[in-house]
Structure 1
């Protein structure tokens, strides 16, 4: 080989790469600092599981494609060492002789090392062959199937060509060294060795060509391999395959779940800015944190975030893949501006605001914060917090936001609820129930029943509150409410960007509850549940928080309530995003429904982890939908199709994850079957009720909270609810 050519290739290739990376890293370091070096053991475990282990790549909705990606990833990990060997061979004839000739004296002196090397070569051959298979699959997928989630890209085909080229040239190089100078060995066996089976096949094919031709092909394979490696290396920081470099670090630096509860996901908790230090959100690119910048670099446009994204499926101006690409390319196009403050004119000038330069306002406000994008992303890109940071700036600094949420903010500020109804009416729903009030001299009480704004003011949800009281009393659970003292938990304010209002409400609630000695809280709203459980600890609010479906399920298991009323009807269950996807509570609601006699529970295709949003999260409950199909209509269409298919299996039932057009189950326009859609969230209840009415299905589909169904089916014993305060056994979450 040639040390001069090898050195020249390496010097040029690495120098260009370093210059490109210097700009990329410089822009990253110009962004806000953020501590992502806490809980190192947990981060290392996540890196092993999701980075090196590629666990998310083989999620059910993309298992085949994910497996093919695993093949390619494994090949890169294993062949990295082989590539280093090849560069060393380019500099050293001795290394070339030792690494290509296993009959060399060196190996005779080190038989143990020889066995290890043979096993490595066997692994190298296997994963390289699988990588070729994976590349062929992706060429077919992109060229023939053309899935909706994958944008047309010449770059993808170039990279697949690079990958295949690397594998084939390695086989060519190795195979050429299996062709002897003299044709003295039988063709069928002379070139085959167990430790390089695929390379042996290449050697057998090359042998009839003769040594000179085989040697020339091997030499060409060697130099082409090195050239591809260096070309590939320099192409990574300028294209969508930058994740090859940044993906593993991004997994390591991921946002960790707020508590030790393994069901709670990373997306459950937003950051808490220091308002006293005037951290009012993200105005420009430099207001993003370096981790948010690393997220942009790590997006490979795989489109998994789109598969069940409610905004994408219903035609809103938001895809998280698109946001990542728009922001990334803006950074790359204005790298010096971000890093040094010098604008396109060459003089120092302020950076433009993100909204207006890189993104449109309607894009930022479209998100429902359902969390699907973060659940699906193989490299843990944190899309939602970045959009919320942009909202924070728009609300707290510019006062520019959808006009309909002004009254929501005012209602929370003045009356402690988003409807703006009088605080003195907060307990009207329970006027005839004689409920104990925390701090009234009774107790001690085991649970604070946090009714929530919807449970206190919304006419439909008031029925759910009363049904839950009926269940708690029947089971003898010791609880009390705050009556008129209860205030909004602040979830909607935070997710609509009004962080100041959220923190005011959160601090007030925590201070009040801690002074009262509250230790455990029951909620009937997943948004309340998520906020109090995962976000209140930032303000000193450490409580055992249990959702009403978890509590009811536990009461059933302990036989403290009995369901005897038979309900002969079909039912499907809609997973609330903030109960299911954000907090991993999937089983408790289903176990409760299955315990109701006579109910036939049928699952929607988009359920559990892949559940489809109702459209109300992220503060969208209070905003109008002016673009595309209404999200709640799409979901109710699926409800109708599910119930219809349960009645008549011959009804066409398209795949919700169809590669060409995902979400087709939400396009169903027929009346559908009869039955119930069960919910466990007041926002979901409102949205699905509205959609049932809007689509003319009010006679066939009823929306019921799980609590109402349980209360209707429950057998009430005489004397229920007479348990002495504090004497009830704790009901623990599932």
Structure 2
């Protein structure tokens, strides 16, 4: 070929790429430092499974598009080596001959190398064909189907054209070398060969053109191929396909959880308040990993499919947040990196809220975790928004006015309602419950009742039902009575990190001084906070959710359910029990153990469960924009129960490509039955939705604990057993 042309292409292409990337990298270096090099083996494992293995791409709700993307990704990985070969061919005529003529004497003396090269060519041919199939599929999706989650974009078609062009030119270049130069040459030179099946077919199609025309096509294909590679390379850092460069790095640097599931969505990062880390005011207050998250967003829209804010018309989609922040940074790189504003002089950076994002966008999030569960490159959306809330609350004191009383209630009375601390144990006045540290025991479990379980009238019934079950099973437990204080979850997720840390440290200090080792919770928010976030303050406890404990007691036959309930029931997964902590089976196993219950699943369930709207502190905020999230969820429950009664009832796809969330737009009264919950927030939100939609005659919302207590076969006198008679037993 031509070393001069090849060299010029490389010099220009790599120089422009280097200039662009220097700005992109400079911004990351200007952001806050963060250690993401801990636990290398776990990170390497995640990279293999989710990066190179593309495990999240083929999640059930997006299997076919994910598979097509895997085809394209595989082609990129395999053809990277081929690209190097083609540049070698451009510089070296010898390299061109050796890599295109497998009948060359060189290969005769290297049989093992020849076999390996042929296998590589076979893989290259197959993945290139797969990539063309993937490109055709995505052109059809964008031009024909037009899924809701895919924003219209000329850039997408350009990239698909680049990718298709690379594959086509590869086949043309290879096929041209299968056309015989002279008719006197052996016909076998253009015959089908197993190691390049697709290229062979292309070569057979080029044979009637003659060698000269085929050679011209091959040379054109070669130079077009190299040009597309370098053009594509330089387009990546200026568009949404930057993830081609950053995606694998982003997976490697993901936020690790406490276990091998590699999901850290259950735990928010803890700022050092003594170092005045009060949240994110400007983009420089974001960490370099949060910056890389922005670079890695593919705009695939998977985060929208079951996002409660997007589905119900709130001013928040995580895809849009990522793009707004990214483009603001790109438009102001010098400002971020060097502190020089648009005027060219030193200027302070503007705050994120007001320049790149609106306040209502930041406050809309319910922290349900769907966006992070669905994201194939592990973008951490929720912590970034919470950091912005922290600044708004702790520095600017600008937040939704209705949460002021919540903060005051937690500060003064240790609960978000602001009800008297001396009333915390009124729910149990006639139960003669043991109190931790009263001289009794030893007790195995601290029953952390929680604020809702202590003050909310509906949840008090759940607390009493759980006591009934624990006593029937002979579980050794005690409460903190009036000493109990809120765990601080809502304060943290509403941005009041100082209040949260104060409450967390106080609780941990108290519990550790009492020798608490294991905690029972009936609220997933308490469960998540104590299990995943308290360890950072020295609170290492064995934490068990009430549904897990009840399930264990049933399996060990320590309780028996005998009362028959002839009811239809659907279960609503709490986000902080299910998605954030992976507890899906225990609640369902408990429900299936209740005689007579017919359990039917909503479409949006388990991993794809839909939020009730209360998480992220939204329990305490008004919902003024769009439709109410709890209404959407209850509509689906009503439709599910109706469909169970009458299968002919239309049941739209929850993840409909044109308009996801259609199951939440059901307006009829629906079927008759029970919506089972395992969270006081969910109970409140869904009960409110029942009342708002006037479905109280048909639908009842009940905690799993209440259902179990109603079905419980109680031994003689078990419900009134004295505290001293409770045995010290383990539920596991």
Matched, 1:416 2:405: no
Q: Aligned to 1:700, which of 682, 698, 701?
A: 698
* Residue 106 of structure 1, CA deviation: 1.1
Contact kept? 1:251, 1:379, Cα under 8 Å: yes
Number of the residue aligned with 1:370? 368
Task: Give, in whole Å, the separation in 1 of the partners of 2:104 and 2:135.
Answer: 35
Contact kept? 1:442, 1:725, Cα under 8 Å: no
CA offset digits 1:17-74 (Å, max 9, x no partner): 0000000000111000000000000000000000000000000000000000000000
Contact kept? 1:443, 1:725, Cα under 8 Å: no
Matched, 1:659 2:657: yes
Task: Give, in whole Å, the separation in 1 of the partners of 2:186 and 2:622.
Answer: 78
Task: Give, in whole Å, the separation in 2 of the partners of 1:166 and 1:96.
Answer: 18
CA offset digits 1:592-634 (Å, max 9, x no partner): 0000000000000000000000000000000000000000000
Number of the residue aligned with 1:311? 309
Secondary structure of the structure 1 residue equivalent to 2:265: helix
Secondary structure of the structure 2 residue equivalent to 1:268: coil
Task: Give, in whole Å, the separation in 1 of the partners of 2:32 and 2:188.
Answer: 64
Structure-to-structure mapping, 1:489-500, within 5 angstroms: 489-500=487-498
Task: Give, in whole Å, the separation in 1 of the partners of 2:396 and 2:203.
Answer: 69
* Residue 726 of structure 1, CA deviation: 7.6
**Farther-moved stretch of structure 1 (273-282 vs 713-722):** 713-722
TM-score (norm 2): 0.99
Task: Give, in whole Å, the separation in 1 of the partners of 2:581 and 2:726.
Answer: 28
Contact kept? 2:462, 2:706, Cα under 8 Å: yes
Number of the residue aligned with 1:388? 386
Number of the residue aligned with 2:263? 265
Structure-to-structure mapping, 1:326-345, within 5 angstroms: 326-345=324-343
Contact kept? 1:450, 1:522, Cα under 8 Å: yes
Contact kept? 1:318, 1:363, Cα under 8 Å: yes
* Residue 686 of structure 1, CA deviation: 0.1
Contact kept? 2:125, 2:198, Cα under 8 Å: yes
Task: Give, in whole Å, the separation in 1 of the partners of 2:408 and 2:689.
Answer: 27
Contact kept? 2:443, 2:728, Cα under 8 Å: no
Secondary structure of the structure 2 residue equivalent to 1:461: helix
Q: Aligned to 1:568, which of 566, 569, 574?
A: 566
Q: Aligned to 1:519, which of 517, 520, 524?
A: 517
Task: Give, in whole Å, the separation in 2 of the partners of 1:436 and 1:293.
Answer: 51
**Farther-moved stretch of structure 1 (265-274 vs 245-254):** 265-274
* Residue 266 of structure 1, CA deviation: 1.6
Number of the residue aligned with 1:30? 30
Number of the residue aligned with 1:149? 149
* Residue 184 of structure 1, CA deviation: 4.3
Instruction: Specify whether residues 23 and 620 from structure 1 end up closer, same or farther in structure 2 by C-alpha distance, changes over 3 A only.
Output: same
* Residue 719 of structure 1, CA deviation: 4.0
Instruction: Specify whether residues 243 and 573 from structure 1 end up closer, same or farther in structure 2 by C-alpha distance, changes over 3 A only.
Output: same
Figure out how many residues of one structure are paired with residues of the other and give that number. 730
Matched, 1:248 2:248: yes
Contact kept? 1:524, 1:680, Cα under 8 Å: yes
CA RMSD of aligned residues (A): 1.1
Task: Give, in whole Å, the separation in 1 of the partners of 2:726 and 2:624.
Answer: 51
Q: Aligned to 1:357, which of 351, 355, 358?
A: 355
CA offset digits 1:125-149 (Å, max 9, x no partner): 0000000000000000000000000
Secondary structure of the structure 2 residue equivalent to 1:572: strand
* Residue 729 of structure 1, CA deviation: 2.6
Contact kept? 1:188, 1:204, Cα under 8 Å: no
Task: Give, in whole Å, the separation in 2 of the partners of 1:24 and 1:272.
Answer: 27
Number of the residue aligned with 2:300? 302
Secondary structure of the structure 2 residue equivalent to 1:103: coil
Q: Aligned to 1:533, which of 517, 531, 534?
A: 531
Task: Give, in whole Å, the separation in 1 of the partners of 2:294 and 2:260.
Answer: 29
Number of the residue aligned with 2:470? 472
Task: Give, in whole Å, the separation in 2 of the partners of 1:265 and 1:48.
Answer: 15
Task: Give, in whole Å, the separation in 1 of the partners of 2:35 and 2:335.
Answer: 25
Secondary structure of the structure 2 residue equivalent to 1:464: helix
* Residue 731 of structure 1, CA deviation: 1.1
Contact kept? 1:265, 1:581, Cα under 8 Å: no
Number of the residue aligned with 2:52? 52
Contact kept? 2:564, 2:711, Cα under 8 Å: yes
Task: Give, in whole Å, the separation in 2 of the partners of 1:245 and 1:642.
Answer: 43
Contact kept? 2:432, 2:723, Cα under 8 Å: no
Instruction: Specify whether residues 135 and 188 from structure 1 end up closer, same or farther in structure 2 by C-alpha distance, changes over 3 A only.
Output: farther
Number of the residue aligned with 2:647? 649
Secondary structure of the structure 1 residue equivalent to 2:433: coil
Task: Give, in whole Å, the separation in 1 of the partners of 2:374 and 2:662.
Answer: 19
CA offset digits 1:176-224 (Å, max 9, x no partner): 0111111247879843111000000111011110111010000000000
Task: Give, in whole Å, the separation in 2 of the partners of 1:403 and 1:608.
Answer: 34
Task: Give, in whole Å, the separation in 2 of the partners of 1:725 and 1:91.
Answer: 87
Gap regions ≥5 residues in structure 2: none
Secondary structure of the structure 1 residue equivalent to 2:676: strand
Task: Give, in whole Å, the separation in 2 of the partners of 1:507 and 1:424.
Answer: 21
Secondary structure of the structure 2 residue equivalent to 1:448: strand
Task: Give, in whole Å, the separation in 2 of the partners of 1:478 and 1:205.
Answer: 80
Number of the residue aligned with 1:347? 345
TM-score (norm 1): 0.99
Contact kept? 1:368, 1:618, Cα under 8 Å: yes
Task: Give, in whole Å, the separation in 2 of the partners of 1:206 and 1:706.
Answer: 69
Structure-to-structure mapping, 1:29-108, within 5 angstroms: 29-108=29-108
Contact kept? 2:190, 2:200, Cα under 8 Å: no
Task: Give, in whole Å, the separation in 2 of the partners of 1:427 and 1:439.
Answer: 16
Task: Give, in whole Å, the separation in 2 of the partners of 1:722 and 1:451.
Answer: 20
* Residue 382 of structure 1, CA deviation: 0.1
Task: Give, in whole Å, the separation in 1 of the partners of 2:199 and 2:170.
Answer: 8
* Residue 724 of structure 1, CA deviation: 5.6
Instruction: Specify whether residues 91 and 723 from structure 1 end up closer, same or farther in structure 2 by C-alpha distance, changes over 3 A only.
Output: same
Contact kept? 2:339, 2:348, Cα under 8 Å: yes
* Residue 105 of structure 1, CA deviation: 1.4
CA offset digits 1:414-455 (Å, max 9, x no partner): 000000000000000000000000000000000000000000
